[in-house]
Amino acid sequence: MPFNETGRQPVIYIVSDSIGETAELVGRAAASQFDSGSVEIRRVPYVTHPEEIPEVVTQAAHAGAIIIFTLVMPHLRAMLVNEARRHGLLAVDILGPVLEALEKTTGRKPRFEPGLMRKVDEEYFRRVEAIEFAVKYDDGKDPRGITEADIVVLGVSRTGKTPLCMYLAHKLIKAANIPLVPEVPVPPEIFSLPFHQVVGLTIQHDYLVQIRRERLKTLGLPAEAEYASRERVEKELAYAEEVMRKINCTVIDVTGKAVEETASKVLQIYRRGRR
């Protein structure tokens, strides 16, 4: 049975400067406390201009509705309240009282930007997606990631490819990395990418030898293993230089550089190339 005394199903107009999910959730939660909880929801999203409000309120009045609204801009909230009062409608402000309370508590002004929460949510999921991408296509595990990546990072072992890709992921960039090993052919897809999507990492010979020796020690292996020998490092760096020259990609020397510094240069290359 409808919980409206007239026997009609109640109508709630959801008015929002974004998509109106929050106000609709509140409306349905409140309606669930009355009998069957049956209610008609009419959502009016993206209300961002004053001239839209009189028409919306008039429509709500014809339906005998109540209005639940989430409007960030103070002048829009005030206008909607006044219009609703003029038509004898109930209008419930979801955001206004909370904004005012936070302003009093923090002593700071709100940003008054519609849709910010949705933007934050979208950014969060894009970041998670980018991190998952970096993990999936780390160290050449699956060369199919080359064609899906925003950035492909090349370099020999221990040049910081993985931490660089993870850092880029936190900047919402999907990054894959390919290790350059003389005995392993470079995936052919890499040669078809635009210049701004491929970055090569190089490093000074002696610095890399030391890094590899320290890595072997942490693994409980002898530092004299071929992996950290000067001959092996020279061979790998020479091979990497040859590959990067053929691809004609930008090469960054990461010797002694923090990952943030390298990432900043990579982002500059990527953004400049997309213009």
User: Nearest CA to 180 among 212, 147, 207, 140?
Assistant: 140
Residue 42 structure tokens = 């009419």
- Overall pTM > 0.75: no
CATH 3.40.50 occupies which residues in the chain? 11-114, 123-274
Quick one: pLDDT at residue 1?
A: 37
Mean pLDDT of the chain: 90
The model's pLDDT over 47-94, given as tens digits with 9 standing for 90+, comes to 999 999 999 999 999 999 999 999 999 999 999 999 999 999 999 999
- Reported residue count of the chain is 275
What average pLDDT does range 10-37 have in this prediction? 88
What average pLDDT does range 117-136 have in this prediction? 83
Asked if CATH classification 3.40.50 holds for the domain at 123-274, the reply, yes or no, is: yes
Say which residue, 49 or 111, is predicted with more confidence. 49
Quick one: pLDDT at residue 88?
A: 96
Confidence at 6, pLDDT banded by 50, 70, 90: low
Query: What fold, for 11-114?
Result: Rossmann fold (3.40.50)
Confidence at 19, pLDDT banded by 50, 70, 90: confident
Quick one: pLDDT at residue 124?
A: 79
Quick one: pLDDT at residue 36?
A: 66
pLDDT over 70 at 120, yes or no: no
